[in-house]
Structure 1
Amino acid sequence: MLRRAFLGLVLLLAAGTAALAFWEPLAADTPTAPVFKPADVRIARDAFGVPHIFGKTDADVAYGVAYAHAEDDFASLQEVLAMTRGRAGAMLGADGAKVDYAAALLDIRATSARDWPRLPADVRALFTAYAAGLNHYADKHPGEVRLSGLFPVTGEDVVAGFVLRSPFFFGLDSVLGELVEDKPFAREGGPPLDAGGQPVARPLTPVGRDPGDNGSNAMAVAPSRAPDGATRLVSNSHQPWTGGVAWYELVVHSEEGWDFAGANFPGSPYPFLGHNKYLGWTNTVNRPDLIDLYKLVLDESGEAYRLDGAWRPLEKKRVWLKVKYGPFVLPVPRTVWRSVHGPVIKNDKGAFAIRYAGYDQANMATQYYRLNKAKNFAEWRAAMAGQGVPATNFIYADAKGNIGLFYNAMFPDRPAGYNWRGVLPGDTSAALWTKTLPFDRVPALVNPRSGYVMNANNAPWVAAGPGDELDAAAFSPLLGIEDDMTNRAARLIDLFEASGPIDADRLKAIKYDTSYARTGYAKAWIDRLLALDVGSDPALKQAQELLRRWDWNLDGKGHGDALALMVLRPANGRHYQRRPAPDAMTVLKETVAHLQKHFATLDPKLGTVLRLRHGEGASRIDLPLDGGNDTIRASTLWDVEPDGRLKVRHGDSFIMFVTWDRAGQVRSESIQPFGAATTRPESPHYNDQAPLFVRHQLKPVLFDPAALMATRPRVYRP
C-alpha cells in the first residue's frame, strides 16, 4: 500500500515536472507565418565576412538581411524576438521576465496591433520579408532554435520590438526599475525647475556622461576645413560588444534604389546609421527629460483614481510572466495598471503614472526606412519631420558639403506653471500634455562657420566652437534639454578649435584621442584624491605620487595610466545622474589593493590591465587596449576577470569614417571590436577584426558593387 502510494507520488511529481518543462510553448501564441517569396536575393561576403545583400526589391533585401544576420548571430536575434512575444523570461530567466513585465506594462502589443495596418504598404512589406527571412533560417536550422514555438515570427512582431526598445534609449527602463523597486529616481535633462516651473540658473554641468549601455561620439567636417575639399563624417557609437543592442555591419543594394552601408541592431531590417551615395548620418544618445511622473490619488479600494473631481477606474489586467528556473518555466502572476496618463506602478509611496515621449506609436519603423532612401538634404529632413524616433541626436553630412547637428526629440508640449522636473499632480487634466512639438522646434545647428559639428553626449549648446553655437536661451526650459558636458566633448572642441585644416589623418588622430581635459569632474576628483591624508601608508603615498605625475593621457605609454583609469571610473559613474561622489579614500584603497594583489605593482602597463578578450580555447583572443570610460577613444565598461584584468565589454564599437570627395564620390572605412560573427566561434570572422581594432586601424567598406566583386567575395542565395 505504502509502496503504491510512494510510486503514485513519484509519478505525480514526474508529471508535474514534465508539465512545468513543456507548458509554456504550448500556451504561447503561434502566429501565422508571413507569406513572402523573394524574387531574387544574393548575399556576398567580403574578406571580413561582412554581408552585402543584393535584391530585386527592397523587400528581397530585407529578407536577405535577416538571413545573413541569423547566420552570424542567431542567438541574439532570438533573444530580441522573445522580448517582442513576452517570452524573454522563458528564455533568459528572471532578467528576461523584467523585460516581459515592461512590455506588458507599456502594452506594446496593443500599439503594434493597432499601428501595423496603418503603416505604409512598403514598410509593411519590408518587415514582412524580414520576418520571413528569419523564419526561413529557423526552418533550415531547427537545432539552433532556443525556445520551442518562437517561430514563425511576423512583421508585426518585429515592429513590436521597435516600440519596446525605443524609449529605453532615453532612460525609461531606469525609471520603471526605480519605481518598481521603490527607489529615488534621478531625472534626465536639465536645468532644474522651481515649484512654479521656472529654471534655476546654473552653468553647464561638467559631468562624465556615459548613459548606462549607451554613449557615443559623432563628428562631421565641412569642405571649408578640409585641404582636399572633402566632406567627412565619423560614426563612433559606444554600445555593448555583444547582445541585443550590439552593432551588426551590413551593406544593402536593391534594384529599387536602396543602397546603404552601415550597421543595425538585431531585429532591424535596415541600418540605423551609415551612408548611401548622397548622404549619411550617425547618432549619439541624448537624454532630455521626456518622461513625466504623476502621483495618483486612489480611493480606498486602490482601483480608482481621482481626475478633475471625479473617480475613474484604473484599467486592470492580469498577466502571467513565464520565468525560467533551471529546467522549468514557471508562471508568475502580475497585475498591470493604466490610467489616462499612461502605465501605472504602485509602490509603498503610492501609485505613479508614467507618460513619455513617443508613447503608444510605431512610426519609428517608417522614419528609419525613409532616412535610408533619402537622396538629398531636403528629403532627409522631411523624413526626420515624421518624428517617429522619440530621442537621439543625429549628426548629418552629405555629398553637397552640408553638415549639421539635430537634437532630435519628441518634446512633450507641456503647459507652463508646473515643476516638470518633479512629481506632477495626477488629479488634474491641466497637467496632462496630449501632443508633442513639431520637428522645427528641435535644436538644430546647420553649416556653422567653424566648419565642423560634434556631439559626445553633451548639451547641444556646445557643438561647433565659440561663436558658432546655438543660444540655449532661445529654447524653453520646458523642453528639459540636458546641460551637461563630458570630457569627450571638451576634448573634441579643443582639438577641432586648434588652427589648421582637418584632413583624414588629423581626423583619425582626433577620434583616437585618449586624453582627459584638466577641467571638470576629472580634475576635481583627482584633486580630491591628492588631498587625502593617507598617513604613513607607503602604498597610498605612492599612488598619490603616481596620480600627481600622471600625464592625463590613457594611451598606455605613461606612468600611472592603469591607476588613473580605475580611480576615475567610480567618479564618472556617479556624476552621470548627479548622485553624490563616492568616498575617495575607499576608491583609492580598493584600487591600490587590486593592483597590488594581481600585478604586484601600482604601475602596470595599461595594456596589461585593460584587455580585449573574446572566446574560449582555440578561438580565444586576448589583446591590450587603451582609452578610458570618458575619453574619445572609449573603453567604457568592463568586467573584472579572475586574474584581475579588466575585460572591456562596452565602448568604441562600430566605427565608420565616411568621405565625399570634391566631386561628390563616396568612400568609407569601418571596424568592429571582434568581427562579423560574434557568437560563432567556429567562424573565421569571430575575431578577425580585433587586431586592427586595437591598433586603431580600419578596413575598407566595399560600397561600390564593382569594387566588391573585384575581390571575389563568397556569393550565395539563402
Structure 2
Amino acid sequence: MWRRALIGLVLLLVGAAAALAFWEPLTASASAPPASDYQPERVEIARDRFGVPHIFGKSDADVAYGVAYAHAEDDFETLQQVMAMTRGRAGALLGEEGARIDYVAALLDVRATSARDWPGLPADVRRLFDAYAAGLNHYAAKHPEEVALRGLFPVTGEDVVAGFILRSPFFFGLDSVLGDAVEAKPFAREGGPALADETKPVVRPLTPVGRDPDDNGSNAMAVAPARSTDGATRLVSNSHQPWTGSVAWYELVVHSDEGWDFAGATFPGAPYPFLGHNKYLGWTNTVNRPDLIDIYKLVLDDSGEAYRFDGEWRPLEKKRVWLKVKFGPFTLPVPRTVWRSVHGPVVKNDEGAFAIRYAGMDQADMVTQYYRLNKARDFAEWRAAMAGQGVPATNFIYADAKGNIGLFYNAMFPDRPQGYDWRGVLPGDQSAALWTETLPFGRVPALVNPRSGYVMNANNSPWVAAGPGDELDAAAFSPLLGVEEDMTNRAARLIDLFEASGQIDEARLKAIKYDTSYAKTGYAKAWIDRLLALDVKGDPALERAQALLRQWDWNLDGKGKGDALALMLLRPANRSHYQRRPAPDPMKTLKEVTVHLQKHFAGLDPRLGTVLRLRHGEGAARVDLPLDGGNDTIRASTLWDVEPDGRLKVRHGDSFIMFVTWDRDGRVRSESIQPFGAATTRPASPHYNDQAPLFVRHALKPVLFDPQALKASGARFYRP
C-alpha cells in the first residue's frame, strides 16, 4: 500500500515538475531592449484641450518614441494586450480567447516571418520601430504597477512589427476562413458568394485581432476643386471601427525636424498614423473584400504527416507549440500541433487537411509602406509608396493640395493561372495550382480625377465610385482578381446625394456625411416588402408593427415615426446581405423585434434616441446619450449590445471622423471627432468622454495641425 502511495506521490511530483517547466509565470522572459538610436530628451508632447497628443522630436525616431509614450498614458491596457499577442502570450493575459490568437500566430508562423524580415527592413524603419518599443518600455518602467503580465517588457521593434504581420490578413477575411477550417464548416469566402450550404453559421473566433465578426464598414469621399463652390479640395475620412480594443482608432499629430508632419489616427501598437493628412496630401481607407485567399485540399499518406505534391511525398512541417492559457489565478500550458505545407499553414479537420494561401503571407513590407506614405510630399511620391505593395488589401481614397483625387482598390492580387476554379477548393497535389507571385500595382483598379469631380467608397464594388459615365469598366479587369460586386445602402445613397448636389460646399459635404436615410432599392426595399407582405391577421401587435412600418419615412434621423422599429428590423437583413447569406425569416424577425419593443418600451414607437445609445463608463465617468443612424446608413451606428434595460449600446460604427480641406492656395486645415475621447480606458481622465456630446450632435473639433496655432491655444507641453 505504502509503495503504491509513494509511487503515486513521485508521479504526482514528476507531473507537477513537468507542468511547472512550462508554467507561464516561471518561464516568461523579456525581450532584449532595443538599441538606443533616438534621444528621448528631444521628445516633447503637447496636449490640446481635448487631450489629443501632438508629438514633437528632432528625428522621426524621437517622435515614434513619443507616440508610444503618449498612447500608453491614455490606453496602456490595450497596448499591453497587443504586445502580448505579438509575443504569443495573449492566452496568459486574456485566457481562452487570447489563446486562440496565440494559436493563429503560431499557425501563421508570425515570429519566423518577423525574425527573417526584420534585419532586411530599411534602417530608418527599424529605427522608428525600435524607438516606439523604447517608448513603451519607458512607460512600463515608470509605471510598474500597471504592467499586467510578468516579463512582457521590455519589448523590441521586432515585436511591434510582428503585430502588423499577425493582424494584417484579418482585414480581408482570413479570420472567417480559419474559423471555417477549424470547425469543418463550408468555407465562407470574400469576393463572391459562399461555395456551399449558406445556411450554416460561420465561426469567427479571432475577433480581438482584426475586424468585427459580423460587419466591416467605412465611408470615404473626396471632392475635386472643379466640383467645389470655393475651388477647394476636400477629403472625408469616415472609418467604421470598434470603439474600444486593439483596432480602435487613436488620434494624434506628429512633427519632426526631419520633415514628418502628419495628423490622423492609428491603432494600438503602431508608431505612425494609418490615415489622415500632411501639408500636401491625405488619404483614408475603407475595407475591400477581394478574393485574396485560396484553399487547397491535401492528399495525405497513412501517417497523416506527408502530403503528395507532383507525384512525390513531402513531409508536412510540424511544430509542437504550448499555448499558455490563463485559468483563474493560474496560467498553464496547453499543447497544440501546427502544420505547414509548401502552400502555407495547414488545418486538419474531419473533412481532411486544408492548406491556406493568402495575399501578403510571410512578409512585413506593410510597415515600410505606411511610413513612406506618411512622408510623401506629392502624388508621385505617394503612388511610388503604394507601388511597394506591402499592404495586402484595403481601399485608399486620396486627395491633395494640387486638386488630385482618386480611388485605389488596393490589393496584392495573386497571379493565378487559368484553368482552375479559384472560388472552389483547389487540388493540393499539383504545383500548377500554386501561385507564387502577385500582380504589380499597375494592375490594381484605380479611378483618378474623374469628370464627375468626386470619388467615394462605402465597402461597395469599385466599379461604382464616381457616378454614371465616370465609372471603371469591370470588363477591363480579369475575373481572376476576385473583385467583389456588392453594393451597400451607403454607396447607393452617396451616389444619389452627390449626383443631386451640384456644386458642393463644406456644409453640403457635411450634410452628405451625416445622412441617415435608406434608399428604396436593393436588399432594404426587398426586405421591407417581405415584412409588409406577411399575413399577420389576428395578431394585433404585429398588425400595428406593419402599419407603423408602412408610415416609416426611410430615414433613421430620430424624428419620424417607426424609426426604432425599422432600425431593429433592418439590422438582420443587412447582416445577411453583407455576409452574402440568405435573408432571415421575416415572421420570426418581426415577432422578436415587436416583443422587444413592447417589453422594454411599452409600445412599438419609442423615439430612436431613447433606444439607440452612446454609453461609456460607470459612475461619475458615465455618459448615456442618444444616437441616430443605423447599421447601413452613412451616419453609421453599425453594431450594438442589447443592455438589460433593452437599450442598444452602440460599440461599432462611425468612429474617427476627419474632414480635410485644401483651399485654392493649397493651405490645409482639418476637423475631427471621436465617439468618446482621447483616453478611452482612463475613467479619471477629463478626456475619457469629452468628445461624446459633440459626436452625438454631428459636431467636430479643430485639428491644430499648425504648431503655432497649437501653442496659441494654451496647450500643455511636457517631456515623457
Counterpart selection for 2:107 from 105, 108, 117: 105
Partner of 1:610: 612
Hey, what's the Cα distance between the residues in 2 that align with 1:220 and 1:188? 26
TM-score if structure 1 supplies the norm length?
0.95
Matched to 2:519, the amino acid is A
Contact 1:79 1:91 in 2 (8 A): yes
Counterpart selection for 1:397 from 395, 399, 402: 399
- Is 1:578 equivalent to 2:580 in the alignment? yes
- Is 1:332 equivalent to 2:340 in the alignment? no
Mean Cα deviation higher: 494-503 or 698-707: 494-503
Counterparts of 1:301-380 in structure 2, within 5 Å, are 301-380=303-382
Contact 2:228 2:503 in 1 (8 A): yes
Hey, what's the Cα distance between the residues in 2 that align with 1:617 and 1:370? 44
Partner of 1:517: 519
- Is 1:33 equivalent to 2:33 in the alignment? yes
Residue aligned with 1:263, SS: strand
* CA displacement 1:457-485 (0-9 Å, x = unmatched): 00000000000000000000000000000
* CA displacement 1:226-264 (0-9 Å, x = unmatched): 111000000000000000000000000000000000000
* CA displacement 1:325-379 (0-9 Å, x = unmatched): 1111121111000000000000000000000000100000000000000000000
Hey, what's the Cα distance between the residues in 2 that align with 1:547 and 1:409? 41
Counterparts of 1:213-362 in structure 2, within 5 Å, are 214-362=216-364
Partner of 2:491: 489
Contact 1:210 1:630 in 2 (8 A): no
Hey, what's the Cα distance between the residues in 2 that align with 1:640 and 1:228? 45
Matched to 1:106, the amino acid is L
* CA displacement 1:581-607 (0-9 Å, x = unmatched): 111111110100000100001000000
Matched to 1:319, the amino acid is V
Partner of 1:444: 446
Partner of 2:191: 189
Partner of 2:680: 678
Matched to 2:88, the amino acid is G
Hey, what's the Cα distance between the residues in 2 that align with 1:515 and 1:389? 33
Contact 2:189 2:195 in 1 (8 A): no
Contact 2:224 2:403 in 1 (8 A): yes
Hey, what's the Cα distance between the residues in 1 that align with 2:549 and 2:504? 33
- Is 1:88 equivalent to 2:94 in the alignment? no
Hey, what's the Cα distance between the residues in 2 that align with 1:169 and 1:22? 33
Residue aligned with 1:332, SS: strand
Contact 1:138 1:145 in 2 (8 A): yes
Residue aligned with 2:32, SS: coil
Matched to 1:397, the amino acid is A
Matched to 2:596, the amino acid is H
Residue aligned with 1:100, SS: helix
Deviation at 1:27, TM superposition (A): 1.7
Contact 1:621 1:687 in 2 (8 A): yes
* CA displacement 1:278-310 (0-9 Å, x = unmatched): 000000000100000000000111000001111
Contact 1:367 1:383 in 2 (8 A): yes
Counterparts of 1:157-196 in structure 2, within 5 Å, are 157-190=159-192
Partner of 1:542: 544
- Is 1:383 equivalent to 2:405 in the alignment? no
Deviation at 1:66, TM superposition (A): 0.0
Contact 1:292 1:420 in 2 (8 A): yes
Hey, what's the Cα distance between the residues in 2 that align with 1:541 and 1:141? 60
Hey, what's the Cα distance between the residues in 2 that align with 1:302 and 1:461? 45
Partner of 1:201: none
Q: Structure 1's 210 and 172: CA in aligned 2 closer, same or farther, altered over 3 A?
A: closer
Deviation at 1:214, TM superposition (A): 3.0
Hey, what's the Cα distance between the residues in 2 that align with 1:186 and 1:175? 6
- Is 1:410 equivalent to 2:389 in the alignment? no
Q: Structure 1's 22 and 339: CA in aligned 2 closer, same or farther, altered over 3 A?
A: closer
Contact 2:677 2:688 in 1 (8 A): yes
Contact 2:19 2:332 in 1 (8 A): no
Partner of 1:206: none
Counterparts of 1:461-476 in structure 2, within 5 Å, are 461-476=463-478
Counterparts of 1:10-29 in structure 2, within 5 Å, are 23-29=23-29
Partner of 2:206: none
Residue aligned with 1:61, SS: helix
* CA displacement 1:537-582 (0-9 Å, x = unmatched): 0000000111111000000000000000001111111112211211
Q: Structure 1's 329 and 192: CA in aligned 2 closer, same or farther, altered over 3 A?
A: closer
Residue aligned with 1:217, SS: strand
Deviation at 1:190, TM superposition (A): 3.3
Partner of 1:145: 147
Aligned residue-pair number: 698
Residue aligned with 2:403, SS: coil
Deviation at 1:93, TM superposition (A): 0.7
* CA displacement 1:72-103 (0-9 Å, x = unmatched): 00000011100000000110011111110110
Counterpart selection for 2:120 from 104, 113, 118: 118
Unaligned runs of 5+ in 1: 195-208
Contact 2:233 2:399 in 1 (8 A): yes
Counterpart selection for 1:479 from 473, 481, 502: 481
Matched to 2:558, the amino acid is G
Partner of 2:640: 638
Matched to 2:239, the amino acid is S
Residue aligned with 2:40, SS: coil
Hey, what's the Cα distance between the residues in 2 that align with 1:210 and 1:34? 33
Hey, what's the Cα distance between the residues in 2 that align with 1:600 and 1:212? 30
Contact 2:47 2:53 in 1 (8 A): yes
Contact 2:19 2:333 in 1 (8 A): no
Counterpart selection for 1:432 from 427, 431, 434: 434
Hey, what's the Cα distance between the residues in 1 that align with 2:679 and 2:21? 31
Hey, what's the Cα distance between the residues in 1 that align with 2:173 and 2:556? 29
Matched to 1:67, the amino acid is Y
Partner of 2:65: 63
Hey, what's the Cα distance between the residues in 2 that align with 1:397 and 1:25? 50
Identical columns (%): 85
Partner of 2:74: 72
* CA displacement 1:661-716 (0-9 Å, x = unmatched): 00000000000000000000000000000000000000000000000000111110
Contact 1:216 1:456 in 2 (8 A): yes
Contact 1:38 1:59 in 2 (8 A): no
Contact 2:23 2:333 in 1 (8 A): no
Contact 2:242 2:653 in 1 (8 A): yes
Residue aligned with 2:650, SS: strand
Deviation at 1:534, TM superposition (A): 1.2
Deviation at 1:624, TM superposition (A): 0.2
TM-score if structure 2 supplies the norm length?
0.95
Contact 1:66 1:131 in 2 (8 A): yes
Residue aligned with 1:587, SS: helix
Partner of 1:654: 656
Residue aligned with 2:520, SS: coil
Residue aligned with 2:253, SS: strand
Partner of 1:132: 134
Residue aligned with 2:587, SS: helix
- Is 1:699 equivalent to 2:710 in the alignment? no
Residue aligned with 1:414, SS: coil
